[in-house]
Structure formats: structure tokens, C-alpha cells
Amino acid sequence: MFEELEIINARPKPFEFYTARDLWTEEHTSRQMLSYHLNEDVDAASRNSAFIDRSVEWITSHFQVGARTKIADFGCGPGLYATRLAQTQAEVTGIDFSRRSIQYAQQTAQNEGLRIQYVHQNYLAFETEDRFDLILMIMCDFCALSPTQRKEMLIKFHSHLEPDGSLLLDVYSLTAFAQREEKAIYEANQLEGFWSSNPYYGFLNIFKYEEEKVVLDKYTIIESARRRTIYNWLQYFSPETLKREFGECGFRVEKLLSDVSGTSYESDTPEFAVVARKS
């Protein structure tokens, strides 16, 4: 038992393990994630619809979205942004790891008579001959990627954008990093049964990496027949570190915002958004 607890409470190196597939493709958790996307009471997997409406209104205006504007939404989930953007007559492609979310998005598009191309794939592996006027990565997805993965994504974005194309994404700030604290929590059926339909015991270890400005939420889920560990990594950024990563991959940060609805930038917000263009 002591050795088991040592493993559960062990601190890995930053981004040592990558378990996105377990979170987004496992049958039970993917169902739970979709319910979070669609839950109007919490800003968990997606933000609430009022915010998304404001965000899409700003995106449409700022990037002059209209007929024949080609948009790619990386990590599109159940299509909450893609659906609204397609209603402006834009040509939208949505990419997501979750089969369940993609199926929901496809059904919504069919019901509303919208032509949206949805791709069920890990966006790290996505390739296409299409070139886009605008690429989105919203809800701080960029923060869940390792430095190597982030570089791969920025290179991919650069190659998939038109010469005058734009990139919009949001990230967690150093203000949010300062608010995180290390802790260890044990709970039966943790998160109200989020991890399994069977009885289980859940351990959550939160680790902070001060030098790297990274936080790990390490979940260990123990059922009668299996044990698994989910590593939820989050990178936190200053505008300077983000600009440096973008610059190394051929992007110029054009505008800083407090969020993806166009709110003016303030340095103490827990998140911030960037508009970038190919250099």
C-alpha cells in the first residue's frame, strides 16, 4: 500500500506524460465532457452561450467574416463556435479529438442546414490542402500542450493560413498561475462520478512548477478492475513569453486582449487572448 501511495503522489517532470486520448476518447468521460460543453451553468469545457454570442459577434466584425471566409476551429468540441460562424456564410472546418462531440456538431449542422466540415482527429495530426483566412484555438487549448507540441501547432497554423491570414487563441496568464496552490485531495467517486459509471476512488495531486510556469492536475482513478492516471497539464504565459514562441514560428502578435470577445487588455486578468498574423 505504501508503494502504491508513493506512485500516486509522485511528481513527474513537466509534460512527461500525455493522456489526452484517455480524456477525450474514453466512452464515459467523453459523455461527461460533452455534458460540460452544453451546460449553461458552468464555464468548464466551453464558455456560456452569452459569452460565445459576444465572442462570435466580435470575431465576425474584427476579422470581417462573411461569405467565402475560410475558418478552421481547432478543438471545436460540439461546434458552438463553428455553428455560429457558419451562420454568417463562412466556410468552417472544425477539428476535434472527441467522436461524441463531433457527432453532436454534425447533427446540429444537419438540423440547421449548415455546411460545416467536421474532422474527427487529434488536431496535432491534422493536415489539409486547404488554406484558411482565420484559425481559432479557443478555451485555452494551447496551454494543455507541451513546448514541443505548441511549436508543432504554430508551424501547422503557419502553413495552413493564407499569406494574410490571422490566428486567434487564448491562454492562461501568470496572474492565474499565482492563484494556483499545490494540494492533494482524496475522494470517493470524485467529481460526482465524472471518471466512471462504476464506483471508484479518486486522487487529485496538484503540482506547481515555478520555473516553467506550469501546473499539473494529476488524477489517479482506482476502480475494482483497473487503475489509470490522467495528466492535465497547463502552461501559463506572460505576453512576452507568448510573443517569443509566436515569433520563433513566423508569427507577429498584432493585438492583445483580455478575452476572445474583444475586451480590452488588462495585465491582471486570469486569461488573455492574442491576434497574430504571419510575419
CATH of the domain at 268: 3.40.50.150
User: What pLDDT is recorded for position 41?
Assistant: 66
Please check whether residue 250 lies inside any domain of the structure.
Answer: yes
Domain count, the chain: 1
Cell of 88: 454568417
pLDDT at 163: 96
State pLDDT tens for residues 176-197: 999 999 999 999 999 999 999 9
Is 254 a domain residue? yes
List pLDDT tens digits, range 122-181.
999 999 999 999 999 999 999 999 999 999 999 999 999 999 999 999 999 999 999 999
Does some domain include residue 68? yes
Q: Which amino acid is at 158?
A: H
What are the φ and ψ backbone dihedral angles of 143, each rounded to 5 degrees?
-70, -20
Report the first-to-last Cα separation within the chain, whole angstroms: 55
Q: Which class for 165: exposed (0-12), middle (13-18), buried (19 or more C-beta within 10 A)?
A: buried
Q: What integer is the mean pLDDT of 51-75?
A: 97
Q: Spell out the residues 6+ positions from residue 137 whose beta carbon is closer than 8 angstroms to its own.
A: 73, 74, 75, 153, 167, 168, 169
Rounded to the nearest 10 degrees, the angle between the axes of helix 27-38 and helix 99-112 is: 40
For residue 262, is it within any domain? yes
The answer to whether 173 touches 264, Cβ cutoff 8 Å, is no
Q: What is the pLDDT of residues 67-107, one digit of tens each?
A: 999 999 999 999 999 999 999 999 999 999 999 999 999 99
Mean pLDDT of all residues in 221-250: 97
**Section 196-200 average pLDDT:** 96
Place of cell 501547422: 156
User: For 264, which DSSP code?
Assistant: B
Q: Say if strands 271-278 and 251-257 run parallel, antiparallel, or are unpaired.
A: antiparallel
Please list, residue by residue across 192-216, b when 16 or more beta carbons sit within 10 angstroms of its beta carbon and e when fewer do.
eebbbeeebebbbbebbbeeebbbb
Q: Is 180 inside any structural domain?
A: no
Mean pLDDT on 217-246: 97
Asked whether residue 23 is assigned to any structural domain, the reply reads no
Angle between helices 147-160 and 239-248 (to 10 degrees): 60
Domain membership of residue 119 (yes or no) is yes
Tell me, what's the pLDDT at 54?
Answer: 96
**Does the global pTM surpass 0.75?**
yes
| pLDDT tens for each residue of 18-31 | 998 887 788 899 88
123 assigned to some structural domain:
yes
**Which domain does 72 fall in, by range?**
29-171+236-278
Q: Which residue has better confidence, 91 or 50?
A: 91
- DSSP character for 223? -
